[in-house]
Structure 1
Amino acid sequence: MTKRSRRASKLTRAEYEEIYNFYYVRKGLGCGAIGKEIGVSKSSVFRNFNKYGFQVRSNSEGSKLSNQKWSDEEIATIHQHCHIKNKMTFEEIAEVHGISPAQFSARCAELGLQVRSQAEAMTCFWEKRESEIREMYEYYLDGAKISKEIASELGCSTSQVYRCFKHFEYQMKSPKGSNLTDKDKFQIVELYSDERAPREIEENLGISSSTVRKVLKEIGVELRPLDEAVNLALARGRDKTRNSINANIKLDFFEQMTPELAWFLGAVCSDGSIGSNYGLNKTTSSFSLASIDKDFVEKLGALVGLSPSKSIQSTSSKQIWTLRCSNKHFVSHLEGLGVCNNKSSTVTIPEAIRPELMRHFIRGYFEGDGCVCVNLNGRVRFSLSSKSRRLIMSVAKELYEQAGIGIQSKRRSLSCVNLLNCPYLTVYVVKEKSDLIMYKIETSALSMIEKLYRYLYEDVDEANRMNRKFNKFEKALGGL
């Protein structure tokens, strides 16, 4: 509760009655003006007046009463003296005379009094600050301050600073690249021949990198390819100042199939995606993986050299942790291992995963799209869902063949898609929305869930599992 809310809650009915009679009835003030007088919000005044049964004016009645405070002659006087002669803004008039900017503007319109246009108002604003601007201009000419610093002190943009200088017909300095001498051009070519990048030349000479490229093109110097330029910069140690999310990627992680890579691929097939962004000049490959579990995302990121970033889910206040990069080699490795674009309904278990590593892939997929919980009857229930029928059927098959996890009783559901006499866990079709079809496997058989727990987590290091779901398993099964 804010200080103003606490202040409003402390006032009694008798005090509000006194405020109502004195300020609202006698002086004709509105709820907002009363709130300023007694130190509470407008809504608190209005709410408490209604609470205690005090009659309040309608909006039209309030506007009419407010207009009666100021006669036409008073409005005309304020307009002539303040707005025209002293060039005051509506906000400044409001502070001096207590009439709102909107009300003053409306009354001027009723009386046919001409007010300044936005451009004229801006001109008046700068003219009143002419002495201050003149002082800033002298700093600008001497080189003591650049336009960006002047804009910060004046509380405006850099372009407004230049427009203001132009308004007062101040002579502006020519940009460094607008009148280059032969010596400047020679230095540009010399530095570029010394394997310096345009941005490094900009730092040394104060000539923008775009002008550097333009000069080199005019002279006929062929620019280096991007990959060659990057390698030269890295060789000189320029990476020390880089803050790129691609700088620490571990591409060698994908060279050999390991339990860690199988777990990572399971998580990618569940919560990750890859794609391509097509621009006019180039195509950018991208990767992202998101989860509400920070521990899970940090562990996956440590495997590939990515750090998670934080955002807020649009549909709730939950924090989302994301791994992302735009590295074509990273994406091509994933594509080579069987991860495809727009994978939701077509994803399947990558062929590169050997049978002995299958449980690590399934663990990664379960930690993304699976659930284990205790229902209202005290029974433990496991479930795993996917848009891909092919993947969920493959997982059910692997669970049966590798861990003996299968159906325990006769199938009765009409929504199952298993073949007749199929021993795998039942795969159900679930329509969550009219246009969304999901496939799910689940079981509440305690013996199957115990097998599943051991299959997924036996001899698995803490660095290669999601602690939250592992702890749920242990709690549900009584710490097996």
Structure 2
Amino acid sequence: MGERTKKLRKRTLTDQEVIKLYVKGKSTTEIGKCANVSSRYVRMVLHKHNVEMRSFGSWKRKYSMNEDYFKTWSNNMAYILGFFVADGTVARDMQSISFAQKEKYILEDIRKEIGSEQPIYKNMKTGVHLLTLSSKIMKEDIMTIHGVMPNKSSQIKFPEVPKEYMSHFIRGYFDGDGSISYEKYTVTFVGGSEIFMKSLLKILTSEGFRPQFVSQGSYYRVHIRGRRSIKLFSNWIYKNTDKSFYLRRKFNNFNKEKLKLEYLEDRKDLSTRKAVSTRKLDFLLIYTQLKSEQKVCDCMGIKITTFKRWLKNDKRFKLDFINLSKL
């Protein structure tokens, strides 16, 4: 009884809303995602209200679409496939695939590109929008042609993307599972499949970047660092871009850079332990003369937040600084 009450509190749709969606032709799995409950719970609601159940697989599609969309490569298809690899789901028991994203407009663009009028639903609790495309052909193409399977997170391999479409695929994956910190001049990808992330590392290296691979338990990260490097990366992924197909907030972050490429440089050896240790030692030496954290930061061209991070994360540096402060 306690478990059932707990589930009821999580629901985002009423019984009547659940029934209405089912009558309109939605599957119990789709309704469950919208209502934040399991498909079994949806069936319980329908039985409780004596709703006549359809036989499994007997529903007819209400919304048309280009079911062969993922058979032919294009700039837009490569982007959507990359986006799906990051933020998509292949249904295990249904003939459908789903996209999830907080920004509704990108799902609207994808829906239009694929030629569907399928409604986009919003989970009111999480704020995430869901676009589900019901198609056996599309599901099979995603699985057999591109190798994207149910429960893909830890096992997916990098699809065989033609080189001319690689930047668009990477942009799609970046919009789903990537981030840009302009202040730190860092682009980061995250994923749960080691083989996929190491393939990504290899591809970025082949494009002239100097990515770094970091293992963090069951997750893996690939970083591109440096002011010039992230400008080059943005030039690459946004070239020949259909204006519809990118997340605006990430595009706008890259556009914080106002200098032209020829005036940009990466700070040499910024990420190496040796270089950071040397910079910390320089800070302490200069501090003995200036006796001001801010003045030392200005002198060295670093942010005060960098100095504070050193104090927080490096006990030896903190102790040395405290001792110098007492002199």
Q: Please state which band the TM-score falls in when normalised by the shorter chain.
A: 0.5 to 0.7
When residues 396 and 312 of structure 1 are mapped into structure 2, their CA distance, relative to the original with a 3 A threshold, is same
Count of residue correspondences: 203
How many angstroms apart in 2 are the aligned matches of 1:262 and 1:308? Answer: 23
Question: Which residue is 1:362 aligned to?
Answer: 170
SS at match of 2:150: coil
Residue in structure 2 matched with residue 260 of structure 1 by the alignment: 76
Which of these two proteins has the greater Rg computed from alpha carbons? 1
Name the residue aligned to 1:451: 232
> Separation in 1 of the partners of 2:167 and 2:179?
16
Aligned with 1:301 (options 85, 94, 111): 111
Partner of 1:440: 221
Distance 1:289 1:380 in 2: 29
Aligned equivalents of 2:191, 2:71: Cα separation in 1:
28
Deviations 1:14-51 (A, max 9, x none): xxxxxxxxxxxxxxxxxxxxxxxxxxxxxxxxxxxxxx
Distance 1:262 1:405 in 2: 21
> What is the alpha-carbon root mean square deviation over aligned residues?
2.3
Change (3 A) 1:257 1:247: same
Partner of residue 41, structure 1: none
Determine the C-alpha separation between the residues in 2 that align with 1:466 and 1:273.
19
Matches for 1:161-310 after TM superposition, within 5 Å: 247-277=63-93, 284-306=94-116, 307-310=118-121
**C-alpha deviation, 1:479, in angstroms:** 7.2
Q: Report the equivalent of 1:115.
A: none
CA offsets 1:286-338 (integer angstroms, 9 cap, x no match): 21110111122111222223445232364xxx521111033212211211222
Matched, 1:460 2:241: yes
Q: 1:308 touches 1:321 (CA, 8 Å); kept in 2?
A: no
Q: Deviations over 1:239-284 (max 9, x none)?
A: xxxxx5x52211132231112111111011000010232xxxxxx3
Which residue among 157, 170, 189 is the counterpart of 1:384? Answer: 189
Q: In 2, distance between residues paired with 1:308 and 1:291?
A: 14
Determine the C-alpha separation between the residues in 2 that align with 1:380 and 1:343: 30
Residue 23 of structure 2 is matched in structure 1 by: none
Asked if residue 335 in structure 1 is aligned to residue 156 in structure 2, the reply is: no
**In structure 2, what residue type is equivalent to 1:310?**
Y
CA distance in 2 between counterparts of 1:270 and 1:479 reads 31
User: Within 2, Cα distance between the matches of 1:393 and 1:446?
Assistant: 23
2:156 alignment partner, SS class: coil
Deviations 1:316-363 (A, max 9, x none): xx5211110332122112112221111001112212x21121111111
Corresponding letter in the other structure for 2:164? E
Contact kept, 8 Å, 2:67 with 2:135, in 1: the verdict is no
CA contact (8 A) 1:298 1:308 kept: no
* Aligned residue number for residue 301 of structure 2: none
Whole-angstrom CA distance in 2 between matches of 1:473 and 1:264: 21
Is 1:349 matched with 2:165?
no
Which letter does structure 1 place at the counterpart of 2:234?
Answer: Y
Instruction: Provide the C-alpha distance between the structure 1 equivalents of 2:119 and 2:238, rounded to a whole number of angstroms.
Output: 25
Is the CA contact (8 Å cut-off) linking 1:429 and 1:439 kept in structure 2?
yes
Corresponding residue SS for 1:393: helix
Q: Within 1, Cα distance between the matches of 2:112 and 2:189? A: 26
Find the aligned partners of 1:386 and 1:448 in 2 and give their Cα distance: 21
Distance 1:382 1:342 in 2: 26
Give 1:429's aligned residue: 215
Could you say if the C-alpha distance between residues 443 and 350 of structure 1 is closer, same or farther in structure 2, counting changes exceeding 3 Å? closer
The letter of the residue matching 2:205 is Y
CA distance in 2, matches of 1:429, 1:265: 25
Alpha-carbon separation, structure 2, partners of 1:313 and 1:386: 26
Moved over 3 A (4+): none
In the alignment, is the contact (CA less than 8 A) between 2:68 and 2:137 conserved in 1?
A: no
- How far did 1:440 drift? 0.2
Instruction: For 2:155 and 2:241, locate their aligned partners in 1 and report how far apart those are by CA, in whole Å.
Output: 29
TM-score, length-normalised on structure 2? 0.57
For 2:225 and 2:137, how far apart are their aligned partners in 1?
Answer: 43
Q: Who is 1:37 aligned against?
A: none
Please give the alpha-carbon distance, in whole angstroms, between the structure 2 residues aligned to 1:327 and 1:384: 30
Deviations 1:414-466 (A, max 9, x none): xxxxxxxxxxx2210124xxxxx110011331121111111100221212222
Distance 1:374 1:466 in 2: 16
The answer on whether the counterparts of 1:295 and 1:467 sit within 8 Å (CA) in structure 2 is no
Instruction: Determine which of 171, 193, 199 is the counterpart of 1:394.
Output: 199
* TM-score, reference length from structure 1: 0.40
Per-residue displacement from partner, 1:198-252 (whole Å, max 9, x unpaired)?
xxxxxxxxxxxx9xxxxxxxxxxxxxxx79xx7xxxxxxxxxxxxx5x5221113
Q: Aligned partners of 2:65, 2:163: CA distance in 1, in Å?
A: 28
Counterpart contact for 1:253–1:303, Cα < 8 Å: no
Which of structures 1 and 2 has the larger relative contact order (alpha carbons within 8 angstroms, sep 6+)?
2
Contact 2:231–2:254 under 8 Å retained in 1: no
